[in-house]
Structure 1
């Protein structure tokens, strides 16, 4: 997928008004996700993404251990723009839906394998981007 396609998918799924805000939400989600993932997984994910979005991911993950609610708080802080935790939840779920539709299935499975159940039950329970609005 191209950067514009990912950002457009995030904008459409989340209901954000502009592409700039959707791009900020995408980068914020990826930045925090990259902290949560361990080892080479952020780099592997970045290799599947356009450069303008991939640069939000760290070269190597720290494998930080925090739950999904802390994840959303960190995404809200990273995104700025007065984003609330509830807003960050919607934005992050939209980013994950776009990733699920846009990266190879194996890479998405590698990413999700590193996340605990509370992420699977909330963040990762999103429908693929092409099924959310239709």
Structure 2
């Protein structure tokens, strides 16, 4: 899936007023997701995204100047996830959850199914429920 198509889908699903808002929300979600995922999985996910969006995930998993990898797979729940997205996107936590669900739905469509399953398997249940595969697995879809 190409960058413009992904941003357009996020804008429509999250009912955002413009592409700039959708871009900001997408980057905020991807950066926060990268903090939650093991660095290898974040790298594999980024590899399947357009380079302009992959950079948001890779920026946080890249090696630091001293050669050590940036910490990854931070164990946080939906409350922290939403708070970090809200801070990055300049919005409130309820809006951040809505935007995260939209971005994760588009991400689900853009990634290979087996990668989406791996991604879902590393997330806690409350964040996993934002993914279409997570909603289906929990019988809420």
Deviations 1:77-118 (A, max 9, x none): 0112xx110110110100001011111101111111110112
Bigger shift: residues 6-15 or 61-70: 61-70
Aligned residues: 124
Match of 2:103 in 1: 95
The within-5 A match list for 1:1-134 is 1-57=1-57, 58-59=60-61, 62-80=72-90, 83-121=91-129, 123-125=130-132
SS in 2 for 1:49: coil
- Give the whole-Å Cα distance in 1 for the aligned partners of 2:114 and 2:104: 15
Tell me the CA shift for residue 120 of structure 1.
Answer: 2.3
Larger Rg: 2
Unpaired runs of 5+ in structure 2? 63-70, 136-141
Tell me the CA shift for residue 5 of structure 1.
Answer: 0.5
Q: Taking CA–CA contacts closer than 8 Å with sequence separation of 6 or more, which of the two structures ends up with the larger relative contact order? A: 1
Normalised by the length of structure 1, the TM-score is 0.87
Unpaired runs of 5+ in structure 1? 128-134
- Give the whole-Å Cα distance in 2 for the aligned partners of 1:59 and 1:120: 21
Bigger shift: residues 2-11 or 61-70: 61-70
Tell me the CA shift for residue 124 of structure 1.
Answer: 2.2
Match of 1:131 in 2: none
Tell me the CA shift for residue 19 of structure 1.
Answer: 0.5
